[in-house]
Amino acid sequence: MIYIFNFFRDICGLPGRLCTECGKLCDQCHCTICQEACVSLSGCCSNFLDKPLASYVVISGLMSLFEIALCVSSMNARSLGGCRGTSHALGVGIRSWLVVQIGFAGLNLLFAPYFQGRVWENLKDKVQSMGAGTRGTIGKDVVQSSFKDVFLHDFGVLFYFFALIASFFWSVNGANFAQNHGLYCNPDGMVAWAASIGSSLFWVAILYSLTWYWCSCCAKSVNPEKLRLDIEARPAVPAYPVAAGREGASPSQALYYSGGGRGGTQGNLVQPPAGPQYMPVAQGQVVRPGSKR
């Protein structure tokens, strides 16, 4: 699966690479304004692709926009006025179906960046709460853990889950309605195409959810540099004085490859230091400072 996600990541990164090359060309032409604009656009594309689920946001966004365009074009078609039938399963006409379909497409369009933003914020909170520094590479298991936290506990995701199921059945019934009521209810096949895209978005969301939840390799493509910059912009969190037997270390090392050389492994997690241990004292017994029991 990592090769599939990397393929979509490279495709989505083409605009950023194009802006980078455009900036180099403008530099050779001594056009400072154009160069700065291209570099700025390239940086925006790179920052977006460095976040988790970037390919999902792009794919879902393009499919949703195309679906909305098909629905609007179908509603403006003159032949749609000749469609007099209603769906037996839904009990609505074709225009009402198109309006609801546009609503589902808009929900898919908004949910993808919302989900990505929630995972990104959860990842930043998790790293900062552990006192993460700016060295090392953030482990893929930490990124996947943030995805699972949002996927399992966010009410927005729960709402979208039920809405996605409703959207799937709505799209399937709409496709059957368009095919069974002739050309007037399916001008230029646009209604059937809109229904197919709506049902396909259901499988896209299921595919990404299952692969990100069960396969940590999908998180390997996340670049931690942008995350470090966002964390450094926040107020600093004091580090623990002692961790893993090293003076001045902090439990943030649980999020990074241990060690500075090639021998470090991602699985070497460092736990926070245990709190002070207290021993029970019998009633009336006096324990002097420095004494051992």
Q: To the nearest 5 percent, what fractions of the chain are helix, strand and coil?
A: 70, 0, 30
How far apart CA 4 and CA 9 sit, in angstroms, is: 9
**What is d(CA 129, CA 139) in angstroms, rounded to the nearest whole number?**
16
- What's residue 196's pLDDT? 94
Q: What number of H helices and E strands is found in the chain?
A: 9, 2
Q: Looking at the chain, how many residues does it have? A: 293
Q: Tell me the C-alpha distance between 44 and 138, whole Å.
A: 21
Instruction: Fill in the DSSP letter of residue 91.
Output: -
Q: How confident is the model at residue 62, as a pLDDT?
A: 93
pLDDT of residue 110: 96
What is the DSSP code (8-state) at residue 78?
G
Contact 83, 184 (CB under 8 A): yes
* Partner residues linked to 243 by β-bridges: 246
- First-to-last alpha carbon distance for the chain, in angstroms, is 58
pLDDT at 135: 52
Average pLDDT of each block of 10 consecutive residues along the chain (293 residues)? 54 57 62 65 64 87 95 89 72 88 96 93 80 58 88 94 95 87 83 94 93 78 62 55 44 42 40 46 54 52
pTM of the model: 0.67
Nearest to 61 by CA among 118, 124, 116: 116
pLDDT of residue 278: 47
Query: Residue 261: what pLDDT?
Result: 42
The DSSP line for 196-235 is HHHHHHHHHHHHHHHHHHH-GGGGGG--HHHHHHHHHTSP
Query: How many Å apart are CA 228 and CA 137, to the nearest integer?
Result: 10
Q: Residue 199's Cα: distance from chain center in Å? A: 20
Domains of the chain, residue spans: 12-49, 50-232
